[in-house]
Chain A
Amino acid sequence: MSRNGPLALLFHTLFVVFMLAPIVVVCIVAFTPDTFLSFPTTRFSLRWFRAIAGYPEFISAFWRSVGLGALSSAIAIAFSVPAAIAVARFRFPGREAMMAFFQSPLMIPHVVMGIAFLRFFTEIGLSGSFVGLVISHVVLIFPFALRLTLASAVGMNPAIEQAAISLGARDMTVFRRITLPLVMPGVISGWALAFINSFDEVTMTVFIATPGTETLPVRMFAYIQDNIDPLVTSVSACVIAVTVVALVVLDRAYGLETLLVGRGKGDR
């Protein structure tokens, strides 16, 4: 029962072309042998990928972004697991307000967050520091970490823990051997989603990053402000490739829908 008519399929095709066109164009232009932007191009070369090596700012920004994403996602997860258990297990006064508070970084414009962090870090003497970047990214990606840890905390059967207690397990043992393994899928997928969001964040970071602490998207953004040349397309192509690989792996492991919508009842 193919239920979509020819008109619907035509619309779908155009839609998919629209969604993929800019991404595909970046990847094609990245292989140009010319010194200027040319599209469409017929010849292929890797010269602009090799050129990245001669531009250490991109390399160091890349590693900084990876470190920042890994660290801030791990911290966000560590904070989100107990909060997720609280929201999943208990009905208590202020629960809805607390969820709204935790979701607020999604609704507050990142420009406003960037300005707020710039002011805050300048006042407390953390401006231009990596610590500042980590702290700000932790709160920004916290909603994503919480969404997926919450989804697995909600799906957990408390009877299993009660069985462990009745068999004489101590609190720490129950947490380590029962609770944690059960929320582990949420922890891993939440970490991954938080990582991707930290890795891509530009709007807030552009305010607090200084030349010594630029992340990759900030460096790319600053570069495009000055000039658009094939070098930045090859860097973008690498970023796209990394994201697509991560995307496919995550989709296989958890399903993209789960990752983006979450299944937790308490989540919106």
Chain B
Amino acid sequence: MSRTGEQVPDAQTGAGPTPLPSERPERTPRAPYLLAAPALMLFVAIVLVPLLMTVLLTFHAWDQVKGIERVLVLKNWREVLTDSYFFEVFVRTFRIAALVTLLTALLGAPEAYILNRMRGPWRAIFLVVVLGPLLISVVARTLGWALLFGGNSGVVNQALMKLGILSGPLPFMFTETGMVVALTHVLMPYMVLSVWAALQRLDPQIENAATSLGASQATIVRRIVLPQVLPGILAGSIIVFALAASAFATPSIIGGRRLKVASTLAYDEFLNTLNWPLGAVVAVLLLVALALVIVASNRIVERRYAEVFR
């Protein structure tokens, strides 16, 4: 083992001394800073600097002939904030994200509970089946939905009509409905994972105690399980919402060239219209809006469930 890893200590020498007698946390040591320094410098150079450059870019002017002009103007921001087209795209983006979050919570939380109650090998097998898609290419998974929705009168429509759920075919391809279904599938593992993690912290004795006191299964789920896994559901919701609002490949493939969300709009401005400053405004706006939503909901979750998180 140590043979194969011999390059790593070389990369390590730049990181300063190895943390040898380290069990004395009370005196603030230099070692952790030296150890983390390479990664920190990497992140400052490759994450922070490009992000700041992007923010700066939003204030540059752009002209079809002259390209990007390095001046400071508010024109791009004004354009995005006042034009109803951009407003409509952002509303659509967050409407889709909210629906996807709701669906993953309604379906993913019960599934995590059922998985957790399974026995022996089934539990492990279905955990892989449910979480595994997370690691399969998003493009391949979305292609699967495009095949199910479209083509020769869509398998999904045929199935739903045969089951009597639909009376006539519903358009999925190039619609928000299709985007919501596909994104729900793509992001479902995150919700199941989050609720699953919360369920693992649950003490089974509490459920047993409730049963021995004569509570019905429904009462146990409502009064014992749900309150305890709610933080997990909320944490999963935050992740799913953030990823749904910033999803790119799925909305792009299902939505086609017409139906835009914020990320595909930014992509268009960058690689088709070539108006980089305007595209940067859309991207930065998405980042800020998401950051606000995440910080606000984290605040609420942590305040309400401070004792659960610890």
Contacts and interface: CB of A to CB of B under 8 A. Distances in A.
Given A117-B50, A172-B9, A158 B129 contact: no
A46 interface: no
B189 to A, nearest CB: 8
Interface in B191-209: 193, 196-197
Contact of A207 (B35, B193, B267): B267
Interface string A178-220: 0111001001000000001001101100110000000001001
A236 B140 CA distance: 5
Interface string A105-119: 101111111011111
Contacts of A82: 12, 15, 35-36, 38-39
B63 interface: no
Interface residues of B, number: 104
A243 B135 contact: yes
Interface string A150-191: 000000001001100100000110111101110010010000
B56 to A, nearest CB: 9
A240 B267 contact: no
B33 A92 contact: yes
Interface string B138-161: 111111111110111001000000
A55 interface: no
Contacts of B266: 111, 115
B98 interface: no
A51 interface: no
A50 B267 CA distance: 33
Interface string A126-162: 0000000001101100100010000000000010011
B246 A111 contact: yes
Q: Which of A4, A21, A26, A228 has the most CB of B within 10 A?
A: A26
Contact of A87 (B20, B36, B110, B253): B36
A72 B202 CA distance: 38
B147 A158 contact: no
A256 B127 contact: yes
A24 B268 CA distance: 32
A49 interface: no
A146 B193 CA distance: 19
Interface string A1-41: 11111001101100110111111111001000000011110
A11 B248 contact: no
Given A90-B32, A257-B127, A202 B253 contact: no
A93 interface: yes
Contacts of A85: 19, 35
Given A85-B19, A217-B137, A233 B128 contact: no
Given A112-B284, A116-B53, A119-B57, A23 B140 contact: yes
A175 to B, nearest CB: 5
Q: Which of B7, B32, B40, B133 has the most CB of A within 10 A?
A: B32
Given A180-B5, A181-B1, A247-B135, A261 B147 contact: no
Contacts of A184: 1, 5
B21 A109 contact: no
Contact of B130 (A16, A90, A202): A16
Nearest to A200: B137
3 tightest CB-CB pairs across the interface, nearest first? A22-B144, A109-B246, A116-B50
Interface of B: 1-2, 5-9, 11-12, 15, 17-23, 25, 28-29, 31-33, 35-36, 38-40, 42-43, 46-47, 49-51, 53-54, 57, 107, 110-111, 114-115, 117-119, 124, 126-148, 150-152, 155, 182, 185, 188, 193, 196-197, 217, 242, 245-249, 252-253, 262-263, 266-267, 270-271, 276, 279-280, 283-284, 286-287, 290, 294
